[in-house]
Amino acid sequence: MTTPLIEVRDLHFQYDDGTVALRGVSFRLEPGETVALLGANGSGKTTFVLHLNGLLGGKGCVNVCGMEVEAKNYEAVRRKIGMVFQDSESQLFMPTVVEDVAFGPLNHGIDAHEATHRATAALERVGMSAAADKAPYHLSAGEKKRVAIAGILAMEPEILVLDEPTTFLDPIGQRGLAELLANLPQAKIVVTHDIPFARAICNRAVFFQNGTIAAEGPVEEVVARFGWDFALEPAKFHR
């Protein structure tokens, strides 16, 4: 067996208000995989991914790229795993797009010339070179998502974690994002309710239920098992 990029064993987490969010979760991410995390709101998906770079800390073992996720390793772990949040605007705050993308490398001590080089290369990778000098707030939702991803790519991570990446995107934007992600070499974890998107880019699905992993396997099998292949039958919904 290959050495996993992420290995989580028996992870438990309870919030301060007493809500038990994770109940013994174990998980592996292999090199080259793209895995969908499926499940209802409140099932533990987002709580789980926030443990992967130390934003939350529960009981159990979380290992990323051979490093245990603990305080002494946070900086190194966060170089390995890039988080793309649901609301891209929360990651865009500099005056221009290229400055936004260069911010992460600069913040981690990379010199200005190299940070700009990385930012330029990342923008080219996501098809946003022409927007380098624009203000981020002038961009469309799809463009903001691409710039947010570029900001993560400029950090040269080995793993991407995307939380509901198709939120706010129209069908054309969703298709373009799927094509972009499918062509990136990093292993990926995608938290999503968007089953067509999961089908398009993920080779495995993990289904969260009440803070546990209830099933995992090919996307089609997991979706069918839990009835998530949802399509309205118009004749049944006439007013």
Please state, in angstroms and rounded to a whole number, the distance separating the CA atoms of residues 100 and 82. Answer: 15
Q: What is the pLDDT of residue 1?
A: 60
Give the residue from 32, 74, 33, 31 showing the smallest Cα distance to 52: 74
- Average pLDDT of the residues of the chain: 90
> Does residue 89 surpass a pLDDT of 90?
no
User: Which residues share a beta bridge with 219?
Assistant: none
Structure tokens at 93: 């705050």
**What's 6-228's CATH class?**
alpha beta
Structure tokens at 94: 């500099």
Domain boundary assignment for the chain: 6-228
Structure tokens at 162: 């995307």
Please state, in angstroms and rounded to a whole number, the distance separating the CA atoms of residues 71 and 68. Answer: 9
First and final CA of the chain: distance in angstroms? 55
pLDDT tens-digit series, residues 176-231: 999 999 999 999 999 999 999 999 999 999 999 999 999 999 999 999 988 887 64
Please state, in angstroms and rounded to a whole number, the distance separating the CA atoms of residues 208 and 39. Answer: 5
**Of 41-50, 137-146, 198-207, 229-238, where does mean pLDDT reach its minimum?**
229-238
Residue 58: count of CB within 10 angstroms of its CB = 18
Whole-structure pTM value: 0.90
Q: What is the pLDDT of residue 239?
A: 46
> Does residue 234 surpass a pLDDT of 60?
no
What is the pLDDT confidence band of residue 25, given thresholds at 50, 70 and 90?
A: very high
Element (H, E) at 170: none
Element (H, E) at 77: helix 74-80
Secondary structure (3-state) at 145: helix
